[in-house]
Amino acid sequence: MRITVKLLSILLVFLSSPIWCRGATQGVANSVREYRRAHEHRILQEFVRLLSLPNVASERENIRRNAALIADMMRSRGLSPRLLETAAQVAPPAVYGEWRVPGATRTLVFYAHYDGQPADTRQWSGQTPWQPLLRSGTLESGGKILPLPGRDEPINPEWRLYARSAADDKGGVVAILSAFDALIATGTKLTSNIKFFFEGEEEAGSPHLADVVSRHKELLQSDAWIICDGPVHQSGRKQVVFGVRGDTNVDVTVYGALRPLHSGHYGNWAPNPAMLLARLLASMKDEAGRVTVPGWYDDAEPLGEIERRAIMEAPRYDEELRAQLGIGRAEGGGQSLLELINLPSLNINGINSADVGAQSRNVIPTTATAALDLRLVKGNDYRRQVERLVSHIRRQGFHVVDRDPTDAERRQHPLIAKVTHRPGGYNAARTPMDLPVSLAVVETVQSVSAQPVVRLPTLGGSLPLSIIGENLGGVPTITVPLANYDNNQHAENENLRIQNLWDGIEIVAAIMAMKPRQTPANPSGKDAAHGRS
């Protein structure tokens, strides 16, 4: 064990030395940049058109309009897109396409998702979520609303495009297709087959991805998946990420009386569900933010030597981030953000009981609800983690049901919690950082970056990469995030910084064009990752 670690360390030092930073991709990057500069307006126009379609996965008609548009975009590029459907077409289809390269020694799948999180229009500033709006800078810094620039007007790369999914993750779709355009237009010789896979229900927890992927095992055969999603490092440095946290959602509702009661006539006699919920939630975490649900951290696989070192080498950014976000004290008792995202989390997405503000009334509410999300790390199983949560709720004295309680149950049980595990959910994934394809991607991204690339064992966010790995013979998945970190992902006023889109196009193109490695680590000339499939 120790010897292996030592060997790997030597290898890593060797591989990360300048000898591997070849000039080939730099040439590709330059021609891609030229191409992009000449086509910025067209790229932006296509992006705006895609962002104009509402894309919540559960809205069947809308989400299919997105899939149809993306298929059109691919068709216009000479690709022959296919909608990969589930049985009975219940779920949003994945949009698939491929570009076969004669003599290719490798097949890469480029992944992005075209669905987005729901959006509360009332909370957006100056626009609705699906009316893309260009601003001269961030809202917070007073960015002004700009008209879309005409063909002869320059585009400032510090501008931001505001819309749901600008960053998460239609920006990924557009970067991938624009990178492909650039390579074809500049006549770049490719040595990898390119496959495109655009998912349509990632934000809903990918409940049908396993079905779709396992139905199309043959079609999706590949040597690696390149995942274009998530933000670059907070410092602005590019990053390559080798894992993601798993994710699943649980809703908890607790009950008071059958009807809302006057808080004077019944207050301090009738139980208040908002207070019951507060007590229940408070029992789940201690003051330092550590989850107190028994067993919560038991299955988490500790990080290996390489992962720990990568975290140590990543820029320290916590203090800067605290200041920017107005956070007086972070959770986690002094551990850094990068350390903490390697632990499973329990987060409250929202709580509600009756009303606050102008609509609040002097009542005792009938119910109180919390929406929770559970993030998981390598070693956790999401179903087991939910079971732990349910056991904890039972231990707090609650009778747990999975639908509204009957009148008889209400009379019988002083404390009742409806706990529902939302459809979807998956485990964490982590690709070894020392696979040849891992090293090649880092090297390629580095070759088009001025600053050192940040390598991370895991992203704090989640992607259904475990589903891809589990259903496709353990194919490695490597995440190359494109968005600015302050993109308001999942929230109101989501945005993408234009320069991040431009950079993203260059990075994706460089990876599409990366040469097979002739390195000591891979003497056969064939990517070792292939052996995993």
How many residues make contact with a copy of itself (CB under 8 A)? Answer: 104
> Which positions from 447 through 486 interact with a copy of itself, judged by CB under 8 A?
459-462, 485-486
| 325 vs 450, beta carbon nearer a copy of itself | 325
Q: Which of 341, 389, 467, 514 binds a copy of itself (CB under 8 A)?
A: 341
Q: How far apart are CB 456 and a copy of itself at their closest, in Å?
A: 11
Q: How far apart are CB 267 and a copy of itself at their closest, in Å?
A: 4
Q: How far apart are CB 331 and a copy of itself at their closest, in Å?
A: 6
Longest CA pairwise span in the chain (Å): 81
Q: How far apart are CB 499 and a copy of itself at their closest, in Å?
A: 20
35, 185 contact by CB (below 8 A): yes
| 125/442 Cα distance (integer angstroms) | 38
Distances (CA, A) of 532 to 110, 178, 224: 18, 30, 10
92 three-state secondary structure: coil
> Which positions from 86 through 145 interact with a copy of itself, judged by CB under 8 A?
117-118, 120, 140
> Which positions from 194 through 253 interact with a copy of itself, judged by CB under 8 A?
203, 230-231, 245, 247, 249, 251
Q: Which of 102, 154, 187, 350 binds a copy of itself (CB under 8 A)?
A: 350
| 223 vs 318, beta carbon nearer a copy of itself | 318
Q: Which of 187, 359, 450, 523 binds a copy of itself (CB under 8 A)?
A: 359
> Which positions from 151 through 190 interact with a copy of itself, judged by CB under 8 A?
none
Position 310 contacts a copy of itself (CB under 8 A): no
| 395/390 Cα distance (integer angstroms) | 9
| 500/157 Cα distance (integer angstroms) | 8
110, 194 contact by CB (below 8 A): yes
| 274/224 Cα distance (integer angstroms) | 48
> Which positions from 244 through 303 interact with a copy of itself, judged by CB under 8 A?
245, 247, 249, 251, 255-272, 274-275, 277-279, 281-282, 284-285, 287, 289, 291
The type of residue at 94 is A
Q: How far apart are CB 58 and a copy of itself at their closest, in Å?
A: 7
| 475/466 Cα distance (integer angstroms) | 10
| 146 vs 270, beta carbon nearer a copy of itself | 270
| 291/296 Cα distance (integer angstroms) | 7
| 133 vs 190, beta carbon nearer a copy of itself | 133
| 17/6 Cα distance (integer angstroms) | 17
> Which positions from 361 through 380 interact with a copy of itself, judged by CB under 8 A?
361-365, 368-371, 373, 375
- 437 Cβ partners below 8 Å, 6+ apart? 223, 224, 476, 478, 527, 528, 529
- 154 Cβ partners below 8 Å, 6+ apart? none
| 151 vs 259, beta carbon nearer a copy of itself | 259
Q: Which of 348, 383, 451, 531 binds a copy of itself (CB under 8 A)?
A: 348
Q: How far apart are CB 73 and a copy of itself at their closest, in Å?
A: 27
Q: Which of 16, 489, 495, 522 binds a copy of itself (CB under 8 A)?
A: 489
| Alpha helices in 142-272, H assignment, sequence order | 170-185, 209-215, 263-266
174, 167 contact by CB (below 8 A): no
| 233/453 Cα distance (integer angstroms) | 9
> Which positions from 389 through 448 interact with a copy of itself, judged by CB under 8 A?
407, 410-416
> Which positions from 10 through 29 interact with a copy of itself, judged by CB under 8 A?
none
> Which positions from 52 through 91 interact with a copy of itself, judged by CB under 8 A?
58
Q: Which of 4, 45, 347, 451 binds a copy of itself (CB under 8 A)?
A: 347
417, 400 contact by CB (below 8 A): yes
| 82 vs 399, beta carbon nearer a copy of itself | 399
| 41 vs 322, beta carbon nearer a copy of itself | 322
| Alpha helices in 112-269, H assignment, sequence order | 170-185, 209-215, 263-266
